[in-house]
Structure 1
């Protein structure tokens, strides 16, 4: 089992942050596009090779995010039409997300078996998440999924803020 930690910087305009292992070493680097359309987040491994990319679809009625891992589109997260509360669906072959992913407290299952879990770390400066990877072959997918869900949350918050003003 690998235990990884994602800590985002509160005042980072560029959207750069790292994923650290239990020893505090940088394992993955995440870089968001700044003032670029479409909005993307790219995930690099410790040798700075690209392992995943999250892209927000431009010009769609409801927000949709695509996740590529190792050059293959694997996950699609899209907002469902609803009147009261935002609802999203996550489409990925054989993978299921169970729990409250808007509070970043959920499990990731593959064919019914838990392969990872995410929990929000409280009382920290900025958003911090603990990611436990039980199936190391799925580590890149799990990290990409967590970053994508966080992107969806940020996009939803930005939309709610702009609608309120």
Structure 2
């Protein structure tokens, strides 16, 4: 089992952060597009090669995000219409997320087997997540899922605070 940690800075204007391994070494670099349409997040390995791309669909009634890994779209995250509580669905062939993913405490399944676990670490400055990868072939997909879901949550929170 491999453990990875994502720590986002609270006041990061350039939307850059790293994914660290269990020893504290850089494992991946994440860079968000600043003031660019469509909104994207690029995930690169330590050699600088892009391994995943998260893109927000520009023209849609409800928010929709696409996650590409190694150039192939593998996951779509859709906001569902709801009056009371924000609801999102994750569409992917053979990938399923179970648990309380709105609070970032969930497991990722592939073909019914757990391939990863994600937990938000509380009482930290900024958003921090612990990722346990049980199937290393799914590592990039799990990291991309965490970043995409976190961005969905942040977008929802920003929209809610702007409305009040």
| 1:163 shift after superposition | 1.6
**TM-score using structure 2 length:** 0.98
Instruction: Give the Cα–Cα distance (whole angstroms) in 2 for the partners of residues 157 and 47 of structure 1.
Output: 34
Instruction: Give the Cα–Cα distance (whole angstroms) in 2 for the partners of residues 157 and 72 of structure 1.
Output: 29
Query: What is the SS of the residue equivalent to 1:93?
Result: coil
Query: What is the SS of the residue equivalent to 2:102?
Result: coil
Aligned residue in 2 for 1:41? 41
Structure 1's consecutive aligned runs of 4 or more residues displaced over 3 angstroms after TM superposition are none
Aligned residue in 2 for 1:154? 154
Give unmatched runs, 5+ long, in structure 2.
none
| 1:85 shift after superposition | 0.7
| 1:112 shift after superposition | 1.1
Instruction: Give the Cα–Cα distance (whole angstroms) in 2 for the partners of residues 159 and 76 of structure 1.
Output: 21
Aligned residue in 1 for 2:10? 10
Aligned residue in 2 for 1:114? 114
Aligned residue in 2 for 1:23? 23
Instruction: Give the Cα–Cα distance (whole angstroms) in 2 for the partners of residues 79 and 149 of structure 1.
Output: 11
1:70-149 maps to which residues of 2 (within 5 A)?
Answer: 70-149=70-149
Deviations 1:13-66 (A, max 9, x none): 121110000000000000001111111100000101000010111111000000
Give unmatched runs, 5+ long, in structure 1.
none
Query: What is the SS of the residue equivalent to 2:37?
Result: coil
Instruction: Give the Cα–Cα distance (whole angstroms) in 1 for the partners of residues 126 and 140 of structure 2.
Output: 23
| 1:77 shift after superposition | 0.2
